[in-house]
Amino acid sequence: MSPNYSLPTIGGIYATSDHQRFLLETGHDCFEEVFPETIRDTTRTLYETGIDALAAILKECSGVSSSVKLWTAVNFCRESLDRLSLKLDGRVQFHFYQSLDELTLLESSDVLLYLHFNKYEPSSTQAIHEIQRTTRALVIEDFVQAPLDISRFSGDYALNSLRKFSSLDVAVAYHRTNVEMTARPTRYRALRKEAEQVKTQFLQHPTEEREQQFLRLGRQADEALAVREIVSAHPDELERALRFDFRSVRYLRKFNHDFLSERFRTEFPELTRLPGEYMYFMIDSPHREQYRKHLFSKRIFPVIHWADSGSKQSKSILSFHIDQRYTPSELERVVVEMAEVRRTLPRS
């Protein structure tokens, strides 16, 4: 089947143009409001990716040569953990948990990576404080899926990543001690920026050649992330982040999430809607693969998070892009195409 390029694309990596239209003339106050320079006794440091940020924090936790035992959710991306292990010279031991009940096994020398799954829940504060009180373990809060709520962290450290929020290769971390990192331009960033520019060209004049080019560049960029160095945010990326309109973008994302959630509530009551706010609209369905295959054929590209984790969640959850690139009328296409698939499914 030939790709139907007359259909607007929903999902995939950002184009350069997707970011540029949300830049402010002077936006530093907005950045400082969302990501203050200090929180309690920690200081903001900016890295290229979330794994760079996590590696830096773990180096602070473990010292120069000691190994560290890291507890992570069972659905965490294994490829990301491989990159983390490379940056820490293999000195990290991974332990996986499915529920918070298992964290009673934590020891005082352990480190917990607490994942905020697609939404910041205020109740996490109480859970984290109880873990700290009973185990004395260090807690790093992962805000990659709730990046604008990082200032609300209650653990010992916190990190996020902004590259799924827009075309920003910036991760924000809060910790106490500076670690050695490189500021050199990376192959990853060069490839990523080239891919974003090619996608801008594709959106203006869609062809299979351009699509294959930016998909290839995206894959090469992801492969180039596997480096031993801990990489700081590039100065150009920082400048783009300082001028980005986080307030308006958060509003648009939340509006789109609420729109799609309400449409699914009325049109697909049989589907389980997962908690969310402004990152993704997530559903859980035993027919995930049927929906995904059809949506891809209509140039709608929902995400499967942590597909390599082998967790039960990764086999049934589908995450829809509801970000600032889209309007409710565009997201209505998702509803129409989902309904088309449901008509082909067997009656339960």
Tens of pLDDT, residues 12-46: 999 999 999 999 987 678 999 999 999 999 999 99
For the stretch 264-309, pLDDT in tens is 999 999 999 999 999 999 999 999 999 999 999 999 999 988 877 7
What is the DSSP code (8-state) at residue 176? Answer: S
Residue 99 has pLDDT above 60, yes or no: yes
Q: What residue numbers bound the domain in which 194 lies?
A: 187-226
Assign residue 188 a region (left: φ > 0; alpha: ψ between -120 and 50; beta: otherwise): alpha
* Spatial separation of the C-alpha atoms in residues 283 and 263, rounded to whole Å: 13
Are 191 and 168 within one domain? Answer: no
The answer, yes or no, to whether residue 248 has pLDDT greater than 70, is: yes
Return the pLDDT at 28. 74
Predicted confidence at residue 61, as pLDDT, reads: 86
Output the domain CATH number for residue 338.
3.90.1150.10
Tokens 């990543």 locate to 161
Residues 1-14 have pLDDT tens digits of 567 888 999 999 99
27 and 161 inside one domain: yes
Residue 53 CB coordination number (10 Å): 31
pLDDT above 80 (res 182): yes
> Does residue 333 lie within any of the structural domains?
yes
pLDDT at 45: 96
Exposure string over 314-333, b if 16+ CB within 10 A, otherwise e: beebbbbbbbbbbeeeebeb
301 shares a domain with 280: yes
Residue 314 in contact with residue 306, Cβ under 8 Å? yes
Same domain, 151 and 193: no
DSSP 228: S
From the list 117, 101, 90, 125, the residue with the least C-alpha distance to 309 is 117
Is residue 191 in some structural domain?
yes
Instruction: Please indicate, yes or no, if residue 1 is contained in any of the structural domains.
Output: no
Which residue's structure tokens are 């997530």?
Answer: 282
Amino acid identity, residue 340? E
pLDDT of residue 348: 62
Average pLDDT over residues 150-156: 97
CA dist., res. 231 & res. 239, Å (int): 17
pLDDT tens readout for residues 212-233: 999 999 999 999 999 999 999 9
Q: What is the pTM of this model?
A: 0.94
Task: Determine the average pLDDT of the residues in 303-324.
Answer: 86
CATH code for the domain of 111: 3.40.640.10
Total tally of structural domains belonging to the chain: 3
> Is 51 among the domain residues?
yes
62 and 88 both lie in a single domain: yes
Quick count: other Cβ atoms within 10 Å of Cβ 54? 31
Identify whether 194 is part of a domain: yes
Domain check: are 64 and 160 in the same one?
yes
* 7 is a domain residue: no
Both 319 and 222 in one domain: the answer is no
Query: Is 70 exceeded by the pLDDT of residue 254?
Result: yes
C-alpha–C-alpha distance, residues 106 and 75, integer Å: 19
pLDDT digits (tens, 9 = 90+) for 57-71: 999 987 655 789 999
Question: Which carries the bigger pLDDT value, residue 71 or residue 183?
Answer: 71
| Helix-then-strand count for the chain, H and E | 11, 13
Please name the residues in contact with 133: beta carbons below 8 A apart, sequence gap of 6 or more. none
Taking 90 as the threshold, does the pLDDT of residue 50 lie above it? yes
pLDDT score of 2: 67
| 31 and 168, same domain (yes or no) | yes
Cβ neighbours around 344 below 10 Å, total: 9
Considering the domain boundaries, does residue 125 fall inside one? yes
How many CB atoms are closer than 10 A to CB 252?
19
> What's the CA gap between 141 and 244, in Å, rounded?
24
| Mean pLDDT for the chain overall | 93
Residues 292 and 193 in one domain: no
Q: Cα–Cα distance between 200 and 103 in angstroms, integer? A: 45
Q: Please check whether residues 251 and 324 belong to one and the same domain.
A: yes
Q: Are residues 29 and 134 in the same domain?
A: yes
Q: Is residue 101 part of a domain?
A: yes
Answer yes or no: is pLDDT of 162 > 80: yes
Q: Are residues 298 and 195 in the same domain?
A: no
